[in-house]
Amino acid sequence: MPLNHRMIKDNKKIYVPSGYQFSVAAAGIKYKDRPDMALIYSEREAVVAGTFTSNRVKAAPVVLDIKRVRSGTGRAIVINSGNANACTGHRGMIDAETICRDISKRLNIPEKSILIASTGVIGTPLPMERVQWGLEDLSRETASTGIEDVARAIMTTDKFPKVSSRMIKTGRTEAILSGVAKGAGMISPDMATMLCFLLTDLAIEKKALKRALKEATERTFNLITVDGDMSTNDTILIMANGAAGNRPLTENSSGYKKFRETLFDLTDEFSRMIVRDGEGATRLIIIRLRGARNYPDAKKAAFSVAKSPLVKTAIYGRDANWGRIMAALGYSGALVREDSVDISINGINLVRGGLGRGKDVAASETLRHNNEVTIDINLNIGTGVERVYTCDLTEEYIRINAAYRT
């Protein structure tokens, strides 16, 4: 069958999997004159899986979705921006269930097959009268909206919509994996503060889909940080509706490895997008750490550097201040031997065996001309390796968050 695709900004081709419809609505929940609600609808029952925030304080939509994804199937996802429906007590859960019940009646599908996500201000009840207007519009416009419109509707402080896709060929079957995401602030691991919705027309068994999503999340979204804060609403959902017509993939299928690799590639791209769009950020920073005693130490050390306000502000100031990196390694909790550490920035070796090499000026110069910064660290102790994405910290981050509710 012909592949559906659209062209968006920068002539990027976005492929859309078969069997899905999209709609958006401007309900005025927080933002005026822009879509702030979205609907993703599968024309047939889809296999679904999800991963969610590990924050003990969970928004009502997260609590509801955790229960519903256990069935492993679903038909629709309804999303709103501008209001998190978090810390809203019993009313928040009633409102989430009401939204799902309304959509189920309008689309004539089971209520339990509808998933929900919200993002925005915490602690304020949803303006349900406006939400009801939005739901009416969502159910009318499912044939006229593109997936990129969904990406725009779920934005909050994001500077650009996050949408991408991949083609997958398994045997004779050509299929598509596409998705949308949002996130710019309150980004911290387990999970990152974000929403992400992934769609494919491949047929995949429930167990295999759940495993693939969990692995991709661990290796991408759980390895990013903007500000070290963790949200109440983090949600990743994936739907596989089987419209491509292949025999359902299992963990032992020859095409399953290809699917896992493609899913990782797509979620890695979204991870980069989210960090690059960090609130007020001007630089994407890639921390590549190796030579740790073991994997847990590698992760601790990499995140210690990635979360350090002093490292992040130094990068913003175009100052290759490797002393701040060394200090962050020292308090990370990982085993570190000062006289074994090597550090490079953008390929320029600043530190060897724990001692500076007098190349700070050259490294600082590279920071002036690159919006992507790579910090390579070798602890020279063992075989532990990890990579973390972060960004610089600027005055704009403070301005955005100081004025978030005003």
Angle (CA) 181-249-194 rounded to 5° is 15
Q: What ranges make up the beta strands (E) of 252-309? A: 284-292
Query: Which of 193, 217, 232, 394 is flagged as catalytic?
Result: 193
C-alpha distance from residue 209 to each of 91, 250, 309 (Å): 33, 8, 37
C-alpha distance from residue 118 to each of 133, 193, 349 (Å): 17, 12, 45
Do 138 and 39 meet the contact criterion of CB atoms below 8 Å apart? yes
Q: What ranges make up the beta strands (E) of 235-302? A: 235-240, 284-292
**Cβ partners under 8 Å of residue 281, min gap 6:** 226, 275, 391, 392, 393, 394, 397
Radius of gyration of the chain (CA): 22
C-alpha distance from residue 329 to each of 34, 88, 165, 334, 343 (Å): 44, 40, 37, 7, 11
Q: What ranges make up the beta strands (E) of 98-215? A: 114-121, 162-170, 173-182, 195-200
Amino acid of residue 116 = I
**HEC letters along 127-160:** CHHHHHHHHHHHHHCCCCCCHHHHHHHCCCCCCC
What is residue 387's three-state secondary structure? Answer: strand
232 annotated active-site: no
Do 115 and 48 meet the contact criterion of CB atoms below 8 Å apart? yes
* Structural tokens at position 157: 């402080």
Residues 277, 166: Cα–Cα separation, whole Å = 21
Residues 97, 102: Cα–Cα separation, whole Å = 9
- Please identify every residue annotated as catalytic: 193
